[in-house]
Amino acid sequence: MSSIYGETVGMIAGYVYFDSDKFVRMDFQAESNLILALGMKRIDVIIMEEAAARYWSSMHNVKIALGPIHTAGQMALRVHNRHKDKLPAINRAIAELKQTGQIDRILNKYSDFSL
């Protein structure tokens, strides 16, 4: 990870990283734009969630190479406070999709894991 220190690193605007004071941020508003910038060589290194990087690189025909994991975490879904009454139904649906393997099938369908 220290190999990116002192370098310009592309990332999604608003995301916070524990060591962002050690590299120069180049913020992008969307993951699609981040991959396009990488493909146009506006930037050499990005920090992006793997499935999203694989999806957008596939959509834009941008060849990528994965480096070391910068930050590990769980996938999360944010729900606006006005929809909190829907959380039990959402959680049940997610549990069912995980149990049936549907989430993995969706990720595999839209992500090129052959890298």
Domain ranges of the chain: 8-60, 81-110
Strand ranges (DSSP E) for 3-107?
Answer: 8-12, 24-28
pLDDT in tens, 72-98: 877 778 899 999 999 999 999 999 999
Q: In this structure, what token pair is assigned to residue 55? A: 């999806």
Strand partners, 46: 10
pLDDT in tens, 14-51: 988 889 899 999 999 999 999 999 999 999 999 998 88
Indicate the pTM of the whole model: 0.68
Could you give the CA distance from residue 2 to residue 19 in angstroms, rounded to a whole number? 10
Give the type of residue at 9: V
> Model confidence at 106, in pLDDT bands (50, 70, 90)?
confident
